[in-house]
Amino acid sequence: MSEHMNAQVTVTLPDGESRSFPAGVTGYDIAQSIGKKLAKDALAVTVNGTATDLNLPITEDARIEIVTFDHPLGKEIFWHSASHILAQAVEELFPGSRFGAGPAIEQGFYYDIASPHRFTETDLELIEQKMLEIGRRAITVRREEMPREQAIEFFSTKREDPYKVEILQDTLKDTPRVSIYHQGDFADLCSGPHLPDTSKLRAVKLTNISASFWRGDPSRETMQRIYGIAFPSEKLLKKHLAALEEAKKRDHRKLGAELGLFMLSQDVGSGLPIWLPKGAIVRSELETFLKEEQKKRGYVPVYTPHIGNIELYKRSGHYPYYSDSQFPPLTYTDDLGREEQYLLKPMNCPHHHLIYSSELRSYRDLPLRLTEFGTVYRHEQSGELNGLVRARGFTQDDSHIYCRPDQLVDEICNAIDLTRFVFATLGFDDIQVRLSLHDPDNPGKYGGTGDVWEQAEKDVREAAERMNIEYVVGIGEASFYGPKIDFIVRDALGRKWQLGTVQVDYVMPERFDLSYIGPDGQPHRPIIIHRAPFGSMERFIGVLIEHTAGNFPLWLAPVQVAVLPITEDAHEYAASVRDLLHREGIRVKLDTRSEKIGKKIREAEVSKVPYMVIIGQKEREDGTVSLRRHRQGDVGTMTLDQLKEKLFTEITEKS
């Protein structure tokens, strides 16, 4: 026993410093040794990259990192713990309630609840107060591990919770031991980690009540889903609520309608946006921008149909891998009674692979970079649809690069460079990169062999490190055919959006029997890189609208210049200015209404036109214009040549 008590462990901190502690030291002990403030803010600890409870003993040498609210894992852990506090509050206020799932989500948490009580907005305020009270009680959160059968007994008899019993008997049927988190008289089945006690929760706002189905199955019982957000301080909550108000103003659906960019119509169908003339300009300019850049980098365009034979997607694996999110097959019987089935195209990839295999390829032909703005279709659940950012029909800036093994890392780096260039041009400068890898404990989810996955993941790591990219790792986030480098941008309101992606694929060349003739005269397998800087045009533009609040840069703006004559005497000269700019390719609008100039300016500001050319008697006589910039005010008086030069410079530089 004395030998165990004298045992030491060495922990390595994120800055590389190593420290020795007695075996059994906790994350909280380590945080205290570093500083009182860190110990006060600590929520959990990562041990060799795995998040765990702050009070669990560390018995072996390890790399550790203290998790605070600002840590990449901090909010998820905090909000998951808040969902447990929500459940405890509901249980205390409304006895007889039972609980389904209560995860952390991107902005907060929710819990699905089966209760004889019908929750109302007034109840939310009552539950908030109870949650804060539970926080003030500083209830210790305790983890208990037990055999699965014992947990079934616990939730069958002591908790009388059929939902947890079903999870244990179904989802976790192959898991021999599970964990339960105790919080006073409340207990929940959970893998954790959780806050050390409830005192960390000092501010909460329950935001919404909606209906849900148990396990997402419409044939199962209906539950009540309560959404919320929580923080360790009232200040952070107020900041978040202010950001929500700003987000409402920036909502791309609201701005899309106000600015005449796109429309959504039930006559067409849910999730199928229609681009209006102004929105079509924005989309066209983005496509032209990327097409020109791709041309410089050796891409060649192709076009493929909107539907394809179902056998093609079975061959690729998209059907049945993604059958739940695809529209039902279209069945066709020809004049001879032969039946065929077609799918609305879920992915462009299989079509491009057929283009590659349509002729014999030499090692000298590679890399071959095929690119297409191809529209695809997914049958998203109606409750998940969200304007442009979650649609059922959307266009991907898809490219598939077919290359030799010796070219692979260079091509991945080139795709990363293009993606970075796109984001920088559009004003996204806060970007997180995630290496999305496969989950070795769930091999049935993926195609290909373990050796193939090991090599593919080695390739993406090498490329990321060569490009000096700081990245996080997402286990289980890979596509079914290969690992991904995902680009997650943070917008002007601090929200995260996954947009561009670069993926390595060793699986599809096998499935489609793709080959090239090497210098040895023998066939060899190419490797495929799937690459989409925008990701989805619809999603990207939706995010861009909210990021810019609809204030597009000059080169993207549907109307770039509004010519505003002050008096009727200036109309003829104003029309000549309009015609001059139009001939030069500027998107210009002339406003000759008999309104006061102040109103014309205000309406141009509301329409978010980047520049206003004000023309009065003096400008007409001098052959000049008075220039005004949206949101900035007067720029000054200048000649027409100076005006053209200024506009062309800003458009060309995409500043």
CA gap 52, 190 in Å, rounded: 12
Residue 413 assigned as binding residue: no
For residue range 167-183, what is the model confidence (pLDDT) as tens digits? 999 889 889 999 999 99
Beta carbons of 550 and 559 less than 8 angstroms apart: no
Residue 190 assigned as binding residue: no
In the chain the first and final C-alpha atoms are separated, in Å, by 69
The pLDDT of 374-392, averaged and rounded, is: 89
Which of 159-163, 412-416, 440-444, 560-564 has the lowest average pLDDT? 440-444
Q: Is position 311 within any domain? A: no
Could you tell me whether strands 339-344 and 307-309 are parallel, antiparallel, or unpaired per DSSP bridges? antiparallel
Question: Which run of H or of E encompasses 565?
Answer: strand 561-565
* 5 band by pLDDT with thresholds 50, 70 and 90: low
Using the structure block, give the residue that is written with the tokens 């003096």. Answer: 618
Q: Is position 10 within any domain? A: yes
Alpha-carbon Rg for the chain, nearest whole angstrom, is 29
Beta carbons of 593 and 568 less than 8 angstroms apart: no
Using the structure block, give the residue that is written with the tokens 């006073």. Answer: 184
**52 pLDDT more than 70:** yes
CA gap 527, 503 in Å, rounded: 11
Of 501, 556, 485, 505, nearest to 533 (Cα)? 501
Q: Is position 326 within any domain? A: no
**pLDDT score for 532:** 95
Share of the chain above pLDDT 90, in %: 82
Q: Are residues 216 and 297 in the same domain?
A: no
**pLDDT score for 441:** 73
Beta carbons of 560 and 610 less than 8 angstroms apart: yes
* 609 band by pLDDT with thresholds 50, 70 and 90: very high
Q: Is position 223 within any domain? A: yes
CA gap 186, 183 in Å, rounded: 5
Beta carbons of 88 and 204 less than 8 angstroms apart: no
Q: Are residues 401 and 539 in the same domain?
A: yes
Which of 289-293, 382-386, 503-507 has the lowest average pLDDT? 382-386
For residue range 530-545, what is the model confidence (pLDDT) as tens digits? 999 999 999 999 999 9
For residue range 488-541, what is the model confidence (pLDDT) as tens digits? 999 988 888 999 999 999 989 999 999 999 999 999 999 999 999 999 999 999
Using the structure block, give the residue that is written with the tokens 């509004």. Answer: 562
Q: Is position 51 within any domain? A: yes
**pLDDT score for 345:** 93
Write the CB contacts of 70 (distance below 8 Å, at least 6 apart in sequence).
Answer: none
Q: Are residues 215 and 289 in the same domain?
A: no
Of 481, 455, 456, 484, nearest to 471 (Cα)? 484
The pLDDT of 587-611, averaged and rounded, is: 97
- Please, what's the b/e burial string for 40-59 (b: 16 or more CB within 10 A of its CB; e: otherwise)? ebbbbbbbeeebbbbbbebe
* 450 band by pLDDT with thresholds 50, 70 and 90: confident
Q: Which two tokens stand for residue 443?
A: 């091999």
Q: Is position 212 within any domain? A: yes
DSSP letter, residue 178: E
* 2 band by pLDDT with thresholds 50, 70 and 90: very low
Amino acid at 395: T
Which of 271-280, 327-336, 369-378 has the lowest average pLDDT? 327-336
Question: Which run of H or of E encompasses 253?
Answer: helix 252-258
Domain span at 629: 561-653
Average pLDDT, the chain: 93
Of 606, 641, 615, nearest to 563 (Cα)? 615
Tell me the CATH number at 496: 3.30.930.10
Question: Which run of H or of E encompasses 429?
Answer: none
**16 pLDDT more than 50:** yes
Q: Are residues 211 and 269 in the same domain?
A: no
Kindly report the length of the chain: 655
CA gap 300, 399 in Å, rounded: 9
* 632 band by pLDDT with thresholds 50, 70 and 90: very high
Q: Are residues 436 and 504 in the same domain?
A: yes
Q: Are residues 407 and 516 in the same domain?
A: yes
Using the structure block, give the residue that is written with the tokens 């680009």. Answer: 487
**4 pLDDT more than 60:** no
User: What SS3 state is found at 615?
Assistant: strand
**348 pLDDT more than 50:** yes
* 6 band by pLDDT with thresholds 50, 70 and 90: low
**1 pLDDT more than 50:** no
Residue that terminates a domain, selected from 527, 548, 569: 548
Q: Is position 331 within any domain? A: no
Instruction: Give me the helices (H) in 426-536, please.
Output: 450-466, 508-511
**216 pLDDT more than 90:** no
Share of the chain above pLDDT 70, in %: 99
- 161 in the Ramachandran plot: left (φ > 0), alpha (ψ -120 to 50) or beta? beta
Q: Are residues 109 and 52 in the same domain?
A: no
Q: Are residues 26 and 78 in the same domain?
A: no
Q: Is position 468 within any domain? A: yes
Q: Which two tokens stand for residue 470?
A: 């700081």
**pLDDT score for 323:** 74
For residue range 94-144, what is the model confidence (pLDDT) as tens digits? 999 999 999 999 889 999 999 999 999 999 999 999 999 999 999 999 999
Q: Are residues 116 and 214 in the same domain?
A: yes
Using the structure block, give the residue that is written with the tokens 């530089």. Answer: 653
For residue range 57-103, what is the model confidence (pLDDT) as tens digits? 999 999 999 999 999 899 999 999 999 999 999 999 999 999 999 99
Q: Which two tokens stand for residue 12?
A: 């390595």
Q: Are residues 290 and 227 in the same domain?
A: no
Residue 539: HSE in the Cβ half-sphere, 13 Å Cα cutoff: 24
Q: Are residues 81 and 135 in the same domain?
A: yes
Amino acid at 460: V
Model pTM?
0.80
The pLDDT of 623-632, averaged and rounded, is: 96
**pLDDT score for 487:** 94
Tell me the CATH number at 207: 3.30.980.10
**318 pLDDT more than 90:** no
Residue 530 assigned as binding residue: yes
Q: Are residues 400 and 531 in the same domain?
A: yes
CA gap 580, 643 in Å, rounded: 11
CA gap 447, 606 in Å, rounded: 51
Which of 213-217, 238-242, 366-370, 636-640 has the lowest average pLDDT? 213-217
**479 pLDDT more than 90:** no
Of 158, 583, 528, nearest to 355 (Cα)? 528
Count of domains forming the chain: 4
**pLDDT score for 319:** 84
**pLDDT score for 463:** 93
The set of catalytic residues is 349, 378, 396, 398, 400, 484, 530
CA gap 115, 117 in Å, rounded: 5
